[in-house]
Amino acid sequence: MPHLGPLHCQHGDSRFFTILENMANLHARKSADYGSGEDPLTNLRNAEEFGVANWIGCMIRANDKMRRIKTMACVSKLHCESLEDSLLDLANYSVLALILFREQQQKATKAKVPEIVCSGPLITSSGSVGSTGYVPKTWNPASD
């Protein structure tokens, strides 16, 4: 399991760093169940099969956790999962979404075509275009 020992030398609440270790351990366990040997995030990368950027798919899962947390706040009871589990999952989904977002940005930079996320058509780095046929201009980061 991952160990975040050097973080304990930082300033801040020691409980925060203990929770970060719990998050890392939870991620390692869930990656073993849901990921593959070659890619621990393989289950989170499946969002693109449904036309959704992977990081957005991850945030959809995070939203499911938020709904559970809201239920707990309103009725003081959760079935099948504790509030602590939901909060840890929500925190991990946020970190994983950041990882996937950064991957997307790196791919877009290499392809020199930006990934555009908005309420309009989804455009992927492979050039797939939504129903309106909107295609962005080629972006050259060197010209910025």
Whether the model clears a pTM of 0.75, i.e. scores above it, the answer is no
Q: Is 33 exposed, middle or buried (CB count within 10 Å of its CB: 0-12, 13-18, 19+)?
A: exposed
Q: What is the pLDDT of residues 14-40, one digit of tens each?
A: 999 999 999 999 999 999 999 888 899
Average pLDDT, the chain: 81
Name the residue ranges covered by the structural domains of the chain.
Answer: 35-111
Q: What is the pLDDT of residues 37-84, one digit of tens each?
A: 889 999 999 999 999 999 999 999 999 999 999 999 998 888 888 899
- pLDDT value at 123 more than 60: no
* Coil, strand or helix at 116: strand
* Token pair 């809201």: residue: 70
**Six-digit token pair at 130?**
């939504």
CA-based radius of gyration for the chain = 18
Give dist(CA 114, CA 92) in Å, integer. Answer: 26
